[in-house]
Amino acid sequence: MSSAAFDWGPRLAGGPLFIGILNLTPDSFSDGGRYLAPEAALAQAQRLVAAGAGMLDLGAESTRPGSAPVSEDTEWERLAPVLARLRTELPDTPLSLDTRHATVATRGLEAGIAVLNDVTGFSDPAMLDLARSTPCGLIAMRSRVADGYLQMPPYDDPTPRRADAAFAELRVVRDRLCLAGVPDARILLDPGFGFGTTYQEDLALWQALPELPGALGWPGDHVCVGISRKRFLAARAGTPGLAPALRDPLTAAAHAEALGWGFRVFRTHAIVAPGQPL
């Protein structure tokens, strides 16, 4: 890994940054099992890059609702062969690693990973130490964890919600990294749609998203919007039963909405330009 400190700024010049999601799990909510084999993963990575992805995000532990943690050895066994192929075949494409385990993160950094993406917001002291002591980029997400499990309440709970709690949790993530001495230029914050939230809270969070930069004192172009194929989009459109793989037009519309609010980084399963067929 380069010793130069990662800086998101130059990567945001000239337009939005799409971070293509590459799921290396058998049980992800969207496309679990499709890209476990290195050849399949490479082909999907090449499709994402050809469509406009400026970075790829590899994940080998599912964080879908109800998923169980996997061992760090299993996670790395899924990652290692794909990572090796990508470094050979797509050497100019920076890679992000979606993990909450310090051992896996360390191995990934040694193998050429440029960014660590932690859905628990670097709450584990070992992950925070890596964030502080290495020059990599960071994506830090707000979520709700108890006893090592991501908390997922009944999504259709009709109780009205506000965005205040999610904003406060994201503020804690921001402060954790900043107090550890990590430069702002290395950090993207992710509001964490669907992680410990109900539909009502996701809706409130989405509606309040334009207010997030001011509420956190954090620039909108250093926020990663991870809304791709989320059940929130299907529910908001009045089609809650719509399969994840059919939600790409809803994702593209949400990206356009967020772009209008000043957000420029999107973690996504597919990149659909206006008028482009799926």
Number of structural domains, the chain?
Answer: 1
Burial of 136 (0-12, 13-18, 19+ CB in 10 A): buried
Whether 245 maps to a domain, the answer reads yes
Sorting pLDDT into bands at 50, 70 and 90, what band is 186? very high
Q: How far is CA 174 from CA 23, 113, 156, 167, in A?
A: 26, 22, 29, 10
Domain around 61: 9-268
Give pTM, 2 decimals: 0.94
- Indicate if the pLDDT at residue 275 is higher than 60: no
* Assigned domain for 190 exists: yes
Share of the chain above pLDDT 70, in %: 93
- For residue 175, the model assigns a pLDDT of 98
Q: What is the CATH number of the domain that holds 163?
A: 3.20.20.20
Does residue 62 lie within any of the structural domains?
Answer: yes
In a domain, 2, yes or no: no
Q: Is residue 174 part of a domain?
A: yes
Tens digit of each residue's pLDDT (9 = 90 or more) over 79-121:
999 999 999 999 999 999 999 999 999 999 999 999 999 999 9
Are the C-beta atoms of residues 193 and 142 closer than 8 Å to each other? no
Q: Is residue 178 part of a domain?
A: yes
User: Is 49 domain-assigned?
Assistant: yes
Q: What does the alpha-carbon distance between residue 112 and residue 83 come to, in Å, rounded to a whole number? A: 8
Q: What's the pLDDT tens digit per position in 131-160?
A: 999 999 999 999 998 777 778 889 999 999
Residue 148 lies in a domain: yes
